[in-house]
Structure 1
Amino acid sequence: MDLFFVSRARVQERPGLFGRVGEEAVRRLDFRALPDRLPVFVDDQMRPVEPACSWFRHLAYMGRDPEDTLRHYAYIVLRLMEFLAERGRDLGTAAESDLVAYRRSRIELQDAPVGGTVWDREASVINTLLDWMVGQGLRRASPLRAVGSTNPLSTGMSRDMDIRHLTLRQYVFFRDVGLGGQTLDGEVDRAFRGQAPNRSRAAADLALTSGMRPQEWSTTLLPELAVGTRRPGEGTEFDLQACAKYKKHRVAYVPPDALTSVDRFVLVERPEMAESMARTLERRHRDLFVVVEIDYARRRLRGRWQGRDREFAWSAMPPRLRRITVHEGPGGLEPLAVFIGHGSLMLTSSSWDRVRYQAWDRMTAVRGDERAPQLPQKRWRFHDLRHTFALRLLDFLMRRAAEREHTASRVGTATLAEHIAFNPLLIVSRRLGHASPAVTYEYLRYLEDTMSYVDAAFAQWAAGDGDTYADIALRALRVEEAGHAATR
C-alpha cells in the first residue's frame, strides 16, 4: 500500500512525459473538484484503496485544509491500514480486538511509544472515520463499544488546556538570544549560523502582540500589514477568516511596535531573499497567482491564475493560495507573503519549527549562566506567544474593569450594556477568535502582572528600538547586587 498526494503542477511541468494522459488526469481532477495535496491511497496494482480515498475526498469537500489537516490524517490512516493488513483485516472488517491491539502497539510496544495526548488525537481521527463509514452504510456499526462518552481506544485521561506563557524577561531572551543570534552581552554572536534573525524576531513580535495563531501570522500578506502604505507610528487591522481556525471570522489588530519590527525585516533581509528566487518564479509563472492590482480600499487582489483573470478578497484566501501569490517587485516576480525564505515562497510550519528548535538549542546552551532566565522543561512553541498575549491583555482589562466598576458604583451610572461591552473575558475571547468564552475562562488561572491594552501593553515587548535582552539582564543584575549590598 502506498500513499500519494495530488499535484497538478507535477503533471503540467512534464507535458512531454505525460502527454494526453496527463491532460486527461488534470481534467478529471478539476471535474471532480479534487484539490492539490489531497491524499490518495493505492494498492500494489495502483488501484485506489477504499473507503480511505472516499473519506478524504469527503473531508476535502468539507473544506479541511489539505496541507496540514488532511496530510496529518493521512499518515494516521496509513499506519492503521498497514497494521490491519498484517492481521488479514481492513477498515471494513476490523474488529474491536484489532483496534485495541493497534492502540497497544502505538502506546506500548513500538520502539518509541507515543504519549497519551498524541494517541488521543489519533484515536479521534480513527473514531471519526469509523463513524463516517457507519453513516455511509459501509459498516453496520462501529466495532468499538462505547461506555458513556469513551470507547476502548480512548486513554480516558482528562486534560486541561496546555496554557504556557512567557514573562517579559523570558520573551526578550527568546527573541534576542534564541531567534536573533545575540550573546548575553548584547553582541552579535559570530558563531550564530541561523538565517534571517530579523525575520524571526519580527515573526515573534507579530505573534505576541496580535494574538494570532501560527497559521494566521505566518501566512500574512504584505498588503494586510499595509507595508509601504501606512504612516510611521500607525497600527493596522485586517480580517481573518480563511486562515483562521474553523474559518471563524475576526479582526486582527497589529500595534505599531510590531509593525516596526516587520518593516525592519522587509527593508533589510527580505529583498535579498526575493531577488534570489525571482528567476525561479518566472519559470513557474503559469502555476502562480500573479497579482496585477492591490485594491486597498476594498481589500482585494486582482491578477491572473491558471490562465484566467481572478479576483480575491484577502480574508477569503486560504494558505495554499497565499503560498503561490506573487507580484511584480523591483527585481521581478516576488512573493506577496511577508515571511519568506531563501528559495521559498512562504515558510511552512515545519520550517518555523526548525527555527524555534534552533532557538531553543541556543538558549539551553547558556542555561547555566546567571544572566539567563529560568527555562521550562519543554521547549517553547510559537503558540505560547498567543497564550502570553491573552494573559497580558486579560489581566490588564480585568484591572480596568475593576476601576470602572469602582467609579460607576460611586456615581451610579453602570448599566447592563456596559457590563457586557467591557467584559474582559468577552473582549479577549473576540480577539482570540475562541469558539466560546468558556475556553477563554481557562486563562484566569494563569493571570500575572499588569500590562497595558494592545498598544501600551506591548510597548516593551516588540523589538523596535527598545532594550535588548542584555540591557534588561544587566539592569536586573545591578538591582540585585544593590539589594545584597544594602542588607550587609
Structure 2
Amino acid sequence: MEQHDDGPRWRLCWAQPPKRSGPLRSELLAEYPDIAEREAKLGIRPRQAFLLLPDGRPDIDVLEFFRSPVFQSLSAGSQESYAPDIQLFLSFLSGQGIDWRAARFEHLADYEYWRRRDQLNPDRIGAAKFSRELAALKKFYDWQQWRGTVSTSPVALHKSSSRSGSTDTDLRPKAVRSVQLKWLTPRAYKRWRDVGLGGYRGDGRRDPTWRGRNDGRNLAFAETLWSSGLRLREGGTLVLGELPSADQQVRYAKARVGQAVAKGRGRDFWISAAALKHIDNYVISTRAAAVHRAQAEGRYDDLTDIKVVDRVDKSRRVHFTTRTGTTGTVPLDGLDWRDRLKFYITTDRGLEPWMLWLSEAGLPLPYRSWEEVFSTANDRCRTLAVDIHCHPHMLRHSFALRMLVTLIYAHERKMGITAAERREYRLIFGDPWVLVQTLLGHANLETTRNCYLEPVSGLQMDLFLNDDTAEDASITDFITHIAATAPGIVDAEEQ
C-alpha cells in the first residue's frame, strides 16, 4: 500500500504491485508479509486506488466502489484523476461533520462555491476542472445509489431543453471554456518564478534567508512547462533520453511525448533551447549531487524491482535487464508514469534513475509532487505580497497564448496578409482555446486534428518557431498590452 496524503482528511492510497522496490517503510506493514496475497483474495488489483477515513479506518462502501467494474473500467488516467476528486469532496464533508451518505444537493452547492468562487480559497479552480470533478462525484454516487447505499444522489439532475431531452448536472458550468481560464504574461511568469522558486524578494533583490536546495531543479521544470506547453504528467515523467540536445542551432527543438503518459496518444512537442540549457545545468549540478548522495548511501543497491536500460533502438523500443539477469523489451510509448519510476541507467558514475526529475534523496520524483512545489511557491509569493498565483496547467495556457501571438507575427511577415486578414487573426486571438486545440492537441476538433493538422504541424512549427526574425520583445509587449484589457491574463508591474 502506497499512501499519498496525510493529515485530517480522507487518505488516498494505491495498492502496490506484488514486488516491492526496497524495504517496507511501515513497521506495521512489515508484520504482514503476505499483504499482496491478501489484497489479491479481496479482488484488489495492483495499483488500484482506494480511500481510507482520516483516522486510517476503512469505509467498506467506499472501498467497494473502487473495486467495482464501474471504476475499474475507467482508463488509467481517469482513475488517477477521479480518485483525488472524490477524496477532496469526502474530506470537505468530513470537515463539516457530514457523513458522505447524508450529503444533499445543498452540500454540493456549498462545495461548488468553495471550489470555484470563495475568495478565501487560494486554490480556486476553473469551470473545466470542476466539471470533471462533478463527473467523478456523479459516477461515485450513481453507483452507491444503484447499490442501495444512498437513497438519493447530491449530484442533482435536470431535464435539458434540447430536443434530445438529455439530463445534466444543475451545477455543471454552462461555459466551460471561457470561465476562469488564466494566463501569465512573460513578465508575470518571471516574477512568480524568481520569487516563488528562485529565492528573490518582491522588490527583485535576493532574499538572504532563502535556503532553497532544489532551485536548479524547480526552475528547470518551470521553464520546461513554460516553453513547451507540456501537461504536468507529460513534463513530469520525462526520461533523460527523451529530450533533444541543447546544442542544436534552433530556437525550439522537437521531441516526442510517450503515448502512455500523454492525454490520448503520443505527439510531438517543441521546447526552447533556453529551457534545454536550464535542464542541462540541473542535470550536471543539482541532479548529479542527488545521485551522488544516493550512490554513497547505497540507496540504489537496495532496489530489487528495477530494470536497467541497455539501449533504446530506432523503433523506440527499450531493451533492459532486470536485477535477476532477465532481459526484455518494451515500447517506450507503452511506459506509463509508474513504469518509468522503475527504470534505471548505468553511467560512468554507476547506477542512477532514468527519470529526469529526482528528489533530494536521488530517487525518481512522482509527477504529482510538483503540485506541492507550485503550492509552496504560491505561499511564498503570497507571504511576500506578490499577487501572482500559478499552477502547472497555467503555464500550458500561457504557452498557448504566446504561440498564438508568435504565429500572428509569423503570418504577417511571411505571407504579407492584409489589414482585413490581420483583424481576422485578432478575432481568433480572442479565443485562446483555438491554439490549444491545434498546437497542443486538445480533445475537440478531433477530425481536424487527426486528418489535417498532424501531417503539416511539424513543418509549420519548424518554419515559424525557428525564424530568426521573430521579435520576442514585440511579442512580450503585445501580450502585456492585451493583459491591460483581458482580466484572465495576469501581468506584473515593472520593477
Instruction: Tell me the TM-score normalised to structure 1 length.
Output: 0.67
1:371 is matched with which residue? none
2:455 is matched with which residue? none
Q: CA deviation at 1:36?
A: 1.8
State yes or no: 1:379 paired with 2:389: yes
Partners of 1:2 and 1:200 lie apart in 2 by: 27
What is the SS of the residue equivalent to 1:123? helix
**Rg larger for:** 1
1:397 is matched with which residue? 407
1:200 is matched with which residue? 218
2:453 is matched with which residue? none
Contact kept in structure 1, 2:397 and 2:436, CA below 8 Å: no
Q: Structure 1 residue aligned with 2:136, among 125, 145, 156?
A: 125
Contact kept in structure 1, 2:44 and 2:67, CA below 8 Å: no
Contact kept in structure 2, 1:194 and 1:358, CA below 8 Å: no
Partners of 1:163 and 1:44 lie apart in 2 by: 37
After superposition, residues 259-408 of structure 1 pair within 5 angstroms as 259-278=276-295, 279=297, 281-288=299-306, 290-295=307-312, 297-304=314-321, 309-343=327-361, 345-349=363-367, 351-363=369-381, 377=387, 379-402=389-412, 406=416
Which stretch of structure 1 is more off in the superposition, 115-124 or 230-239? 115-124
1:100 is matched with which residue? 105
Q: Give the percent of matched residue pairs that are identical in Structure 1 and Structure 2.
A: 22
Which stretch of structure 1 is more off in the superposition, 323-332 or 199-208? 323-332
State yes or no: 1:17 paired with 2:31: yes
1:434 is matched with which residue? 442
Q: Note the alpha carbon deviations across 1:186-228, whole angstroms, 9 max, x for none.
A: 775432122222222211221112111122111111100146x
Partners of 2:294 and 2:79 lie apart in 1 by: 22
What is the SS of the residue equivalent to 2:352? strand
Partners of 2:218 and 2:332 lie apart in 1 by: 24
Runs of 5+ unmatched residues, structure 1: 368-374, 410-423, 441-451, 462-475, 478-488
1:370 is matched with which residue? none
1:418 is matched with which residue? none
Partners of 2:151 and 2:371 lie apart in 1 by: 42
State yes or no: 1:36 paired with 2:47: yes
> Paired residues, what number?
415
2:87 is matched with which residue? 75
2:274 is matched with which residue? 257
Q: Note the alpha carbon deviations across 1:426-461, whole angstroms, 9 max, x for none.
A: 7763431211259x9xxxxxxxxxxx9434669789
Q: Note the alpha carbon deviations across 1:233-278, whole angstroms, 9 max, x for none.
A: 4624123422223x23321122322211111111121111112223
1:100–1:301 distance in 2 versus 1, CA, 3 Å: same
1:425–1:291 distance in 2 versus 1, CA, 3 Å: same
Partners of 1:352 and 1:312 lie apart in 2 by: 27
Which stretch of structure 1 is more off in the superposition, 256-265 or 183-192? 183-192
2:171 is matched with which residue? 154
Contact kept in structure 1, 2:287 and 2:362, CA below 8 Å: no
Q: CA deviation at 1:141?
A: 9.5
Contact kept in structure 2, 1:123 and 1:153, CA below 8 Å: no
Q: Note the alpha carbon deviations across 1:27-47, whole angstroms, 9 max, x for none.
A: 658xx6823252166999978
Q: CA deviation at 1:121?
A: 4.9
Partners of 2:63 and 2:273 lie apart in 1 by: 51
Contact kept in structure 2, 1:256 and 1:455, CA below 8 Å: no
1:201–1:154 distance in 2 versus 1, CA, 3 Å: same
Q: CA deviation at 1:182?
A: 4.2
Instruction: Tell me the TM-score normalised to structure 2 length.
Output: 0.66
- Specify the code of the residue in structure 1 equivalent to 2:38: A
- Specify the code of the residue in structure 2 equivalent to 1:36: R
1:59–1:303 distance in 2 versus 1, CA, 3 Å: farther
Q: Note the alpha carbon deviations across 1:272-325, whole angstroms, 9 max, x for none.
A: 11122234543442233x223131523232224596544232232111122232
- Specify the code of the residue in structure 1 equivalent to 2:284: L
1:342–1:105 distance in 2 versus 1, CA, 3 Å: same
2:61 is matched with which residue? 49
- Specify the code of the residue in structure 1 equivalent to 2:465: V
Q: CA RMSD in A?
A: 4.8
Contact kept in structure 2, 1:165 and 1:384, CA below 8 Å: yes
- Specify the code of the residue in structure 2 equivalent to 1:53: F
- Specify the code of the residue in structure 1 equivalent to 2:443: A
Q: Structure 2 residue aligned with 1:5, among 14, 17, 33?
A: 14
Contact kept in structure 1, 2:229 and 2:397, CA below 8 Å: yes
Partners of 1:299 and 1:207 lie apart in 2 by: 24
What is the SS of the residue equivalent to 1:154? coil
Which stretch of structure 1 is more off in the superposition, 7-16 or 57-66? 7-16
Q: Note the alpha carbon deviations across 1:51-95, whole angstroms, 9 max, x for none.
A: 8435665434432238842430441575599799977x95xxx7x
1:284–1:9 distance in 2 versus 1, CA, 3 Å: farther
Partners of 2:229 and 2:278 lie apart in 1 by: 16
Contact kept in structure 2, 1:277 and 1:343, CA below 8 Å: yes
